[in-house]
Amino acid sequence: MRNKLFILLVLVSVVLASCGTATPAPQAIPSPVTVIQQVVVTPTPGPNPEAVIPNVEANATVTFWTFWLSPTFDQYIKDTIARFNQAYPGVTVKWEDHQATFQDDLKAAFAAGNAPDVINLSVGEGWVSDYATQGLLLPLDKAVPQSVKDVYFPGLWSEQLVNGQNFQFPWYNFVAVDLINTQIYTGTPSKDASGNTVYTGGAGLNTADFPKTTDGIPALCATIKQKTGTLCDIRLTVNDLLSQMVYEGNVKVLSDDGKTFTFNSPEGVAWLQMYVDMVKAGTVDKTVLLADQDRDSLNLFETGKAAFYQTGPNLIRDVRANNPGLYGYLAVVPAPVGKSGVGGKGGMGISVNAKTKYPNAAIALAQFFTNPTSMVAFSKLVSVYPSSPSAYDDPFFSAPSAAIEDSAKPAAKDYISKLADIVPAVPNKADVNAIVLKHIQDALFNNVSAQAALDAAVAEANALIK
Amino acid sequence: MTKKFTLTPYFFLVPAVAAIAVFVLYPIFAVVYYSFTDYSIVTPPIWVGLRNYQQLFHDSIFWKALEHSFIYLLVTPTLIILSMVLAIIVNRKLPGISAFRAVFFIPVISGSIAVGIAWRLMLDTNGIINGILLAVGALKEPIQWLAEPALTLPLCMLLTVWLGAGYYMMIFLAGLQNIPEELYDAAVIDGCSSWQKHWYVSIPGLRPQITFVAVISSLAALQVFNEVFTLTGGLGGILQSGYTVVYYLWQQAFRLSHAGKASAIAMVLLVITLLFSVMNIRLLESGTEAEA
């Protein structure tokens, strides 16, 4: 009995031990666990900062013509168009580059009614006002938001005005420089017996003394001719002589009411007489003086037979490609400034066809190519300069220049900011220019006095616009 | 047997007639119309009647261009004589004579624009012509050949002669080879010298070719443009010394956008060339009839 009771007690104890809870051992407080939970947030895309033109037509197709940029800048153009498509998706751009026949192609396209929507036109050659006066370009002052207009230097936005209206987005500009062939200008350096550097075979001139104003050129040409027998490579802007008169001679070409030409003034005579004197002195190459294309002047310089040539640094690459030997003897100096004190107009602009089916898309493309980002990218490829002050904040423009092509870079912003179109809108400009060209030739080559030549030109030009 | 009328031959003619209508007749009629309009190419034409012709009549530059075009006709007798002489020279059975014929023909196939540019480079102030003349002491200072108004037109004419001599030489060569050898044998028997053989046999035998060359070369001379444009770099020569009618037409149309006035110039040129061709043919063929 006792045994049974004992066994029962053991069994009960076992059961109770297994069922009952022992006094729980104090549990350890769990240390905090840091749970990193990744939350993937897809950001709502914000507006593209380069898409500044509103109401761009959806599914627009715009054609864009450039002037003499292919094939060197093909990749730049294509990359910029690709960026444009990111800013303005849905707009298709068809790009064509035209070269020597650009003007003929463009006129034929306007005549046929299939002119491009967006057109690269030369501001320097006066093409913008040529087409704008015929009602072929879209006025931009009202079509473009003020915030966009403020991106550009004011002097460049207000160029080639027709009836006070602007028809171009200023694109790339040139800093006018003179390329100097130091072999002719200074001479070939060598060491004499004393170890001093001497220059032989040249005019013995110092590039630092290159004239700062255009009225110093005749004396320079006389010196070069006398010492080396070389003629000066100077070209008149035969397609825009009135413009050259204004910048170089500070000549007032048109009366304030725009009804009478006035370039036969003493200033006009003085300007023409400067060239007459150079021709009579035999110091200029007459075939280049009235060459139709500036390329003739460039070609002469590239042969190594000219002491200096006025151009933009962007054409130094041409010299390097065509005459690598000459490249090693190049110096670059700022081009002389005329009596107007203004260095010149802008270089190239982009305009919009007045009859484009997609005006906002066309304006957007024109603005995109001329915005600071696009311009800085272009400036890094070739020595041309932007039309926007903010573009010059890019470190590229303050970086030291290694190549001679970039020697104008440090002063570029200051120079470009002062460019301005100071030539009034001339009625029947092409015909008046042809009249001026005809009569100045009489003064240059036919022993007619400069005064008589300009008087005859003014009389004929006034009869034209009567 | 009566022929059955059929339209089939006319259907074969339709493509050619269509092409001529589109590419020849339509432009001619268009130019006639434009000559009575003020037309800038980029804007629609505006009817102005005879104004363009009146302006031309009083345009001293147009008359200067016309005068130069008539002076340019001097290349015609030059080409006839030179080409005939060359043809007589190469019309011999000598070893290697074909090479000479080919050499004389090279300028013809070289292209007037390329040759004009090459000549412009040679005649440049720093070109090879001045280089040679300076080297042999013929010049003390280089001559700016293309900047001398008195030399512009003669240099253009010289280029035209250089370009065309080979072509007309071939025409005369073909003509010479059609003259029966017996005529030359008869001339020798009659005691003719070499010079007299050509004067009495070759030249009369070449009359059809002379007529052809005279007409073609004079038309080409009246319509010259490439030589003037390339040698003057597009300017037309200092003091308009290289202006010809076609150059002036181009300048009015494509530089000054006066397509209406340019069309009027084209009409005047058309009348002149037509009259000239008729005169040429009648004069030369009347000579042939007189001989017959």
Q: How far apart are CA A131 and CA B7, in angstroms?
A: 52
Q: Two tokens at A440? A: 């100045």
Cβ–Cβ contact A445 with B under 8 A? yes
Cβ–Cβ contact A286 with B under 8 A? yes
In Å, how far is A136's CA from the nearest CA of chain B? Answer: 8
**Where is pLDDT greater, at B90 or B282?**
B90
In Å, how far is A336's CA from the nearest CA of chain B? Answer: 26
For chain B positions 122-141, those within 8 Å of chain A (CB to CB) are: 124-126, 141
Contact A245, A268 (CB under 8 A): yes
Residue A201's pLDDT is 80
In Å, how far is A108's CA from the nearest CA of chain B? Answer: 7
Cβ–Cβ contact A107 with B under 8 A? yes
Query: The domain B58-245+261-291 belongs to what CATH superfamily?
Result: MetI-like (1.10.3720.10)
Contact A199, A189 (CB under 8 A): yes
Contact A455, A264 (CB under 8 A): yes
In Å, how far is B34's CA from the nearest CA of chain A? Answer: 14
In Å, how far is A355's CA from the nearest CA of chain B? Answer: 13
Contact A156, A173 (CB under 8 A): yes
Cβ–Cβ contact A296 with B under 8 A? yes
Any bridge partners for residue A171, and if so which?
none
The answer for A230, left when phi > 0, alpha when psi is -120 to 50, beta otherwise, is beta
Q: Which helix (H) or strand (E) holds A199?
A: strand A197-200
Q: How far apart are CA A67 and CA A84, in angstroms?
A: 20
Across the range B273-287, mean pLDDT stands at: 80
Alpha carbon A244 to its chain centroid, in Å, reads 19
Kindly determine whether residue A287 and residue B125, on different chains, have CB atoms separated by under 8 Å.
yes
Helix pair A241-249, A429-445: axis angle to 10 deg: 70
Q: Which has the closest alpha carbon to A346: A129, A126, A123?
A: A123
Residue A28's pLDDT is 58
In Å, how far is B257's CA from the nearest CA of chain A? Answer: 9
**Is the pLDDT confidence value at B19 over 80?**
yes
SS3 state at A219: helix
Residues of chain B contacting residue A231, judged by C-beta atoms under 8 Å apart: 125
Residue A313's pLDDT is 80
Residue B125 φ then ψ, to 5°: -50, -35
Contact A184, A306 (CB under 8 A): yes
Contact B226, B196 (CB under 8 A): no
Kindly determine whether residue A305 and residue B147, on different chains, have CB atoms separated by under 8 Å.
no
- Outline where B123-251 has alpha helix (H): 128-135, 149-176, 181-189, 194-197, 203-205, 207-222, 226-231, 245-250
Q: Two tokens at B60? A: 């001293």
Query: In Å, how far are B76, B151, B167, B277 from B82, measured between CA atoms?
Result: 10, 21, 11, 21
Strand extents, DSSP E, A41-196: 61-67, 92-98, 118-122, 169-170, 177-181, 188-191
Residue A31's pLDDT is 66
Q: How far apart are CA A167 and CA B233, in angstroms?
A: 32
Q: How far apart are CA B134 and CA A276, in angstroms?
A: 27
Query: In Å, how far are A182, A332, A333, B78 from A208, measured between CA atoms?
Result: 12, 10, 8, 56
Kindly determine whether residue A285 and residue B239, on different chains, have CB atoms separated by under 8 Å.
no
User: B184 CB contacts (<8 Å, ≥6 apart)?
Assistant: B197, B201
Q: How many CA atoms lie within 13 A of B48 on its CB side?
A: 20
Stretches in chain A below the pLDDT threshold 50 = 21, 23-24
Residue B262: how many other CB atoms lie within 10 Å: 26
Give the pairing type, strands A177-181 and A118-122: unpaired
- Which domains does chain A possess? 61-174+345-417 (3.40.190.10), 177-343+425-465 (3.40.190.10)
Residues of chain A contacting residue B150, judged by C-beta atoms under 8 Å apart: none
Q: How many CA atoms lie within 13 A of A5 on its CB side?
A: 2
For testing the chain A interface, which of B42, B51, B145 should be mutated: the one with the most A CBs within 10 Å?
A: B42
Give the max Cα distance, chain A: 160
**pLDDT band (50, 70, 90) for residue B56:** very high
Contact A237, A176 (CB under 8 A): no
Give the alpha-carbon dihedral of B34, B40, B44, B47, to 10 degrees: -50
Q: How far apart are CA A85 and CA B26, in angstroms?
A: 44
Cβ–Cβ contact B234 with A under 8 A? yes
Q: Which has the closest alpha carbon to A259: A27, A84, A463?
A: A463
Domain ranges of chain B: 58-245+261-291
Contact A231, A283 (CB under 8 A): yes
Kindly determine whether residue B124 and residue A287, on different chains, have CB atoms separated by under 8 Å.
yes
**Where is pLDDT greater, at B289 or B16?**
B16
Which chain B residue has the Cα nearest residue A229? B141
Contact A91, A138 (CB under 8 A): no
Q: Which ipTM score applies to this complex?
A: 0.85
Kindly determine whether residue A293 and residue B233, on different chains, have CB atoms separated by under 8 Å.
yes
Q: Two tokens at A406? A: 């970039």
